[in-house]
Structure 1
Amino acid sequence: MKSMMRKGLTAVLAAGALMATAACGGVTEPGSNGSAASLPANSEKPAASTAAADKKEPVKIVWWHSMGGELGKAIDKVVTDYNASQTGIKVEVVYQGTYDESLNKMKASMDSKSGPNMIQVFEIGSRFMIDSKAITPVQTFIDQEKYDLSQLEENILGYYTFDGKQYSMPFNTSNPILYYNKDMFKAAGLDPEKPPQTFEDVKKAAASLTKDGKTGASFAIYGWFAEQFFANQGAEYVDNGNGRTAPATKSLVNSEAGLKTLSWWKDLVDTKSAVNLGRKTDDTKKAFLAGQVAMTLDSTASLRGIVDAAAGKFEVGTGFLPKPEGAAQGGVVVGGASNWILNNKPEAEQKAVWEFMKYLAKPEIQAQWHISTGYFPITKKAYDEQIVKDNMAKYPQFKTAVDQLHGTKLSKATQGAVMGVFPEARQLVEGAIEEALTAKKPPEQALDDAAKAITEKIGNYNKTVAK
């Protein structure tokens, strides 16, 4: 079985699904794995603790992650606190660079078993993780002890659920919101308490805000935003139920939802109501904080940083992601990453990982993680923790993010698209947006070309995985 797993992994790696660089922001059913199937049911006492007692030493597990800087410090604290809270398990945490870098290191480690027990993977790498057959679905452990998933956020769990099975545990979760300068709104005669809700609202507001050398809006050319605009219109990004009822075979980026979005975006730039600053969200964020643009899009995880940086200069307002007037009901897709259990490790270690995953999901742990990072709590009761209530009072703008998440109705569109070549597809979509905004191609042609290229890559990937 392990040999089969390695062959399956090798085949997936040959598809080159994860060679493109991706940023912040899916999965279906693999064949069963012997290692996962042979795991015995939980006893009353946690299995990891039993194993540790038998060995007279803790079960050691290694967690690879991709959180640098202050986020990395927040992870270090979580792990330090966990290790101090019990003696049966010892977690070693290792930063492995970007999501792509970490996955590439995981691939190289599979045969030698020198890799981690648990790895943090960005959401668009989920399809690859399942096709690799290198993981034990967390559903295995959920079923063994009848773990109550209802305590977690349904809209967050939904992304990592396939055919009714939970494959990984959500960890760092965000979605995009509209940020706007309330002071500039007031100066332009706009109601600072009423952010634009539709594409048409944004266009009208941006035109009023563009004056005195300042521009109404700037949105980074980021594939994640394109994916969100589709979901917010209730539109699927790939065929076969967004790749969730069957493996995706065709890109839908050139559908009506895509054309409406790109045409609107290009019109804003062409009329100089918006300025194109390229692909980096950091560049649009800097322009927004400098008071050069009145509206921008960014992750909810950036909220605290943006509000703090604007303090003393202007008041930051937040609004839902806009959509075309009259669009179908939709919502946002969660971005971020989840944690996966690798199946080439002993059963006792896999069980220890599960125990640690449950710890990470506790309300008090999620509350602290949320306060430290700005990511959503994945556990509902975390919002009842006093530190979260205090933080919400200090940053009332975060209510927009929570309301947007809770207002999203789970559907195939809002669960998020699933395809093995997602990182590459994201790059191709960004290229298409860039071509349209810089007038190298009309929006329709740019999207048609991107859809064709993505569909070809999906086909090649599917053929390779099927071998």
Structure 2
Amino acid sequence: MNKLWLAGLLSATFSGSSLAATEITWWHAMGGQLGETVNKIASDFNASQNDYKITPVYKGEYTETLTAGIAAFRAGQSPNILQVFDAGAATIMNAPGVAKPVQDIMIDAGYSFNSKDYLAGVRNFYADNNGKMVGMPFNSSTPVLYYNKDILNKVDGEAPKTYEQLEALAAKLKSKGYVAFSQSHTPWIMFENFKSRHDLPLSDHENGYESLSSKLMFNTKDMVMHFKKLKEWSDKGYFKYYGSNWDANQTPFERQEVAMWMGSSGSFGGLRNRVKFNLGTTYLPYWQSLNAKGTHTFIGGAALFALNGHPKAEDKAVAAFFAYLTRPEVQMYWHETTGYVPVTNAAYDMTKASGYYTKQPDAEVGVKQLSLASGEWTKGYRLGYYPQIREVMHREFDNIFAGRSSVEESLNKVEDESEKLLNRFARTVQ
């Protein structure tokens, strides 16, 4: 009896160890309710099979997560998956040996992979110069215009398609005591996506794809005109700049002090549950005077990067998680819960077929805007040290709206300082 018992124990012990799940870690920047949704997706993946276990770890905001990930990689203690925001993508993608392209990691693990399965505006942003996808799109978003239908009805106004229409509407709203609009990320909305929406070059060398030593197209006629208008509207009380903090610009809209707000399509899920008014959503405006046709915007948010330096078994676990994450039903859950866009065509089709957009038409605005016509300059941008460049922009935008410098002076400073940062990045990675 004792021998049988011992044999059974040994059998159970060794069979258990041979079937132990391969464990991987995922560092991310999703706090609050978004973090809870991330945890649920990870938990559901773990429950869906017995071979792999993923542990999500919140590492702070985007910049903090990127900094922690780079430091951990240098120390040989990196996570298997690192969430990297749009501005930090070039840093990871151009750093030799840091990230393994998602396209490679999936194919090596035996999964089929076709980049055309992903929305065009999504797949291009995280692809290399040859079109190979390096990052796995995750919390993808794009800037849109939210508006308070109740306030606009007071002036018989419609959501503006162009900045010319927005200016005319702003005067009416001001007469009723409302600030017409605010926006929550000036570099992202008023520079990067201004360029994309108008199909204008953001930098030389094909928006940075052809050379790391690039120069921003910042102090240009279109940008000078646009920021002079923003300053004029700020002085008239049409537009309110609450600084560089995201929530500081969003909260007045939720309080119904501001009629319209330019923010992330990924904010839709939270907004619809919080606001006490009839919420509307539409595309980001463009200037008709610039002969723009309103091309699609750039993607925002972040992607997941598989970091090098881990055993093949763990890379296989990463591939399994990515395959799970891009299942249409998982993408649809993420999209409907958060407001971030579904990253695959199959997930978008499933969401449409479910009738969700019939009930929540505003949830489709971001996807539709990303599906608008492409242009010569709408693929994206590939610029190193871009988080630092954005900080320079924030500083100079503060100076413009505070009246401490002219539009031309500030745009010149951004152009000059960003060029130095881009050249330094090029020297670092070459």
In the other structure, the counterpart of 2:7 is none
Query: Could you say which residue in structure 2 is the equivalent of 1:293?
Result: 258
Q: 1:127 to 1:258 in 2, by over 3 A?
A: same
Evaluate the alpha carbon distance shift between residue 79 and residue 430 of structure 1 in structure 2; reply closer, same or farther with a 3 A threshold: same
- The one-letter code matched in structure 1 to 2:331 is Q
Runs (5+) with no aligned partner, structure 2 = 1-14
Rg: which structure is higher? Answer: 2
Distance 2:261 2:311 in 1: 48
- 1:80 equivalent to 2:47? Answer no
Partner amino acid, structure 2, of 1:296: W
Contact 1:221 1:434 in 2 (8 A): no
Matched, 1:90 2:53: yes
Q: Deviations over 1:44-92 (max 9, x none)?
A: xxxxxxxx99943222111111111111111111111111111111112
Question: What SS is found at the alignment partner of 2:47?
Answer: helix
Aligned counterpart for 2:116 among listed residues 141, 146, 150: 150
The answer on whether the counterparts of 2:183 and 2:250 sit within 8 Å (CA) in structure 1 is no
Partners of 2:321 and 2:245 lie apart in 1 by: 35
Q: Which of 155, 175, 193 pairs up with 1:211? A: 175
C-alpha distance in 1, partners of 2:328/2:400?
45
Partner of 1:200 in structure 2? Answer: 164
Q: 2:414 aligns with which of 443, 447, 450?
A: 450
Match of 1:377 among 325, 335, 342: 342
Correspondence for 2:193: 228
Aligned-pair identity (%): 30
RMSD: 2.1
Q: Please, which of 124, 135, 156 is the counterpart of residue 189 of structure 1?
A: 156
Change (3 A) 1:135 1:69: same
Deviation for aligned residue 1:245: 2.2
State TM-score, norm by structure 1. Answer: 0.83
- How far apart, in 2, do the equivalents of 1:99 and 1:291 lie? 29
Match of 1:168 among 135, 158, 183: 135
Structural mapping, 1:14-163, within 5 Å = 55-133=18-96, 134-144=98-108, 145=110, 146-163=112-129
Contact 1:371 1:387 in 2 (8 A): no
For residues 346 and 414 of structure 2, the distance between their equivalents in structure 1, rounded to whole angstroms, comes to 42
Q: Is the 8 A contact 2:268 2:338 kept in 1?
A: no
In the other structure, the counterpart of 2:267 is: 302
**Paired residues of 1:233 and 1:257 also in contact (CA < 8 A):** no
State the 1:130 CA deviation: 2.2
Does the 8 Å contact 1:371/1:388 carry over to 2?
no
1:386 to partner: Cα distance: 5.9
Structure 1 spans left out of the alignment, 5+ residues: 1-51
Give the match for residue 10 of structure 2. Answer: none
**1:272-421 equivalences in 2 (<5 Å):** 272-311=237-276, 314-325=277-288, 326-329=290-293, 330-385=295-350, 389-409=354-374, 411=376, 413-421=377-385
- Provide the residue aligned with 1:179 in structure 2: 146
Q: Measure, in 2, the Cα distance between the counterparts of 1:428 and 1:441.
A: 14
Is contact 1:216-1:295 (8 Å) kept? yes
Deviations 1:319-340 (A, max 9, x none): 2111111433432000011111
**Match of residue 214, structure 2, among 229, 234, 249:** 249
TM-score, length of structure 2 as denominator length: 0.89
Checking the alignment, whether the CA contact within 8 Å between 2:69 and 2:79 is kept in structure 1 is yes
Does 1:464 find its partner at 2:428? yes
Q: Distance in 2 between matches of 1:360 and 1:341?
A: 14
Secondary structure, counterpart of 2:361 in structure 1: coil
Aligned match of 1:259: 224
Aligned residues: 409
| Aligned partner of residue 218 in structure 2, secondary structure | coil
Which stretches of structure 1, 4 residues or more, deviate above 6 A after TM superposition?
none
2:403 counterpart residue number: 439
Structure 2 distance, partners of 1:168, 1:189, is: 45
**Contact residue 66 and residue 83 of structure 2 kept, 8 A:** no
